């Protein structure tokens, strides 16, 4: 159903018959729905936030809080929020929102396309004036592509005349059967920054990761990811309860954030729903902390996350 004027205008300009439609969602805003032989994807225009990914041979891959609502001025809890142009707290100004400027803000839909078995929607967001130390002319473009897997490409262009220090993440909430029974492979032998370690005043030490990452307490780590010859990193979620594996691959990324709030932090956050923390793990394809990127004037950077679910 097409409701609000915005949604109708989006549908008129960017809808693709049988493949891509805009509609008003119960979450409270316009969403793009992508459909192909490979499955369905739903993306909210607010935050350019992917809210659902259902591959044709699998169940829902993403987790969204049952009490989540759009348009509250806060990012909706779940899906794939875009953290940009900083990850975590602002580096110098505590009055700025965590995880950047764009995750609770409307993006512009600029293009949709369907070619063979790929369907794509492209969003854009640009700083018109300096904000929080970020210059006018800094812009982001997010492509969400449904093919045999779900691919997000976040392109940053620095069209200003000054260098910009960029941190960011595609903050993927993956649905799990029970977080206590899952493990994440891909970080064995790598080191991580433990965001829960008490501040030391100096550069915090990196911890070594021995086996797979498991969850029996709050986990909030920035892993230095292993990158293969093709420039790609892979973390694999093993979920025995849902009898599936989900591979999260990154490009343009040297860091992956792994997060679950566990009981006390979930209670503090207050927007996860009953026992919500048991239903997801975040594997966030990032440029965070030690992996910050400096974009010179005129420079650009592409961060890609590819999500692929396999039964068994």
Query: Hey, which residues are catalytic here?
Result: 171, 284
Q: Which is nearer to ligand BG6, 8 or 293 (CB)?
A: 293
Q: Do residues 120 and 145 touch, judged by C-beta distance below 8 A?
A: yes
Q: How far is the CB of 220 from ligand BG6 (least distance, A)?
A: 5
- Taking the least distance from each CB to ligand BG6, the nearer of 197 and 269 is 269
Shortest gap between Cβ of 188 and ligand BG6 (angstroms)? 21
Nearest approach, Cβ of residue 215 and ligand BG6 (Å): 14
| Dist. CA 155–CA 168, nearest whole Å | 11
Residue from 105, 191, 195, 236 that binds ligand BG6 (CB under 6 A)? 195
Nearer to ligand BG6, 119 or 170 (CB): 170
Shortest CB 312 distance to ligand BG6, Å: 29
Among 153, 220, 239, 291, binds ligand BG6 (CB under 6 A): 220
Residue 99 as a binder of ligand BG6 (CB under 6 A): the answer is yes
98 binds ligand BG6 (CB under 6 A): yes
Name beta bridge partners: 285: 170, 256
Interface with ligand BG6 (CB under 6 A), residue from 171, 175, 244, 308: 171
Report if residue 257 touches ligand BG6, rule: CB under 6 A.
yes
**Complex with ligand BG6: residue 145 or 233, whichever CB lies closer:** 233
215 binds ligand BG6 (CB under 6 A): no
Smallest distance, ligand BG6 to C-beta of residue 103, A: 8
244 binds ligand BG6, rule: CB under 6 A: no
Structure-token match 């992956």, residue found: 256
Query: Which of 93-97's residues contact partners 24+ apart within 8 Å by CB, and which partners?
Result: 93/132, 93/133, 96/132
The enclosing H or E element of 267 equals helix 262-269
Q: Cα separation of 198 and 204, whole Å? A: 9
Q: How far apart are CA 90 and CA 96, in angstroms?
A: 6
Alpha-carbon radius of gyration of the chain: 19
Beta bridge partners of 311: 244
| Closer of 20 and 82 to ligand BG6 (Cβ) | 82
- Min dist CB 100 to ligand BG6, Å, is 10
- Cβ neighbors of 98 (< 8 A, separation 6 or more) are 88, 89, 90
Q: Is 90 a residue that touches ligand BG6 (CB under 6 A)? A: no
Q: How far apart are the C-alpha atoms of 2 and 33, rounded to whole Å?
A: 12
Our CB check for ligand BG6 shows the closer of 191 and 195 to be: 195
Q: Is 53 in the site for ligand BG6 (CB under 6 A)?
A: no
What are the distances in angstroms from CA 228 to CA 146, 186, 191, 258?
A: 24, 11, 16, 20
Distance in angstroms (rounded) separating the CA atoms of residues 143 and 232 = 18
Size of the site for ligand BG6 (CB under 6 A): 10
- Nearest Cα neighbor of 85 from 166, 152, 161, 143 is 166
Q: How far apart are CA 233 and CA 190, in angstroms?
A: 12
Q: Is 197 in the site for ligand BG6 (CB under 6 A)?
A: no
Neighbour order of strands in the sheet with 20-25 = 20-25, 29-36, 39-44, 49-55
The residue from 63, 173, 223, 259 that contacts ligand BG6 (CB under 6 A) is: 259
* Interface ranges with ligand BG6 (CB under 6 A): 75, 98-99, 171, 195, 220, 257, 259, 269, 284
């Amino acid at each position: 159903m097409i409701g609000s004027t915005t949604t109708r205008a989006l549908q008129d300009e960017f809808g693709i018959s049988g493949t891509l439609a805009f509609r008003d969602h119960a979450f409270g805003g316009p969403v793009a729905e992508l459909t192909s032989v490979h499955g369905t994807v739903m993306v909210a225009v607010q935050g350019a936030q992917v809210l659902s990914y259902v591959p044709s041979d699998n169940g829902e891959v993403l987790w969204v809080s049952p009490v989540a609502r759009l348009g509250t001025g806060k990012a909706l809890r779940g899906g794939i929020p875009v953290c940009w142009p900083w990850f975590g707290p602002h580096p110098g100004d505590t009055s700025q929102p965590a995880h950047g400027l764009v995750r609770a803000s409307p993006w512009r839909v600029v293009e949709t396309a369907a070619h063979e078995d790929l369907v794509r929607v492209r969003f854009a967001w640009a700083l018109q004036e300096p904000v929080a130390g970020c210059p006018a002319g800094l812009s982001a473009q997010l492509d969400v592509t449904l093919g045999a897997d779900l691919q997000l490409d976040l392109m940053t262009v620095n069209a200003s005349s000054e260098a910009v220090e960029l941190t960011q993440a595609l903050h993927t909430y993956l649905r799990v059967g029970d977080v206590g029974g899952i493990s994440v492979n891909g970080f064995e032998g790598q080191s991580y920054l433990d965001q829960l370690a008490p501040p030391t005043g100096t550069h915090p030490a990196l911890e070594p990761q021995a086996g797979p990452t498991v969850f029996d307490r709050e986990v909030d780590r920035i892993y230095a990811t292993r990158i293969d010859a093709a420039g790609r990193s892979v973390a694999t979620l093993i979920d025995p309860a849902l009898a599936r594996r989900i591979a999260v691959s990154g490009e343009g990324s040297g860091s992956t954030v792994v997060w679950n709030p566990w009981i006390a932090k979930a209670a503090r956050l207050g927007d996860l729903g009953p026992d919500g923390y048991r239903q997801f793990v975040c594997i966030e394809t990032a440029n965070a902390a030690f992996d910050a990127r400096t974009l010179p004037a005129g420079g650009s950077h592409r961060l890609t996350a590819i999500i692929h679910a396999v039964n068994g």
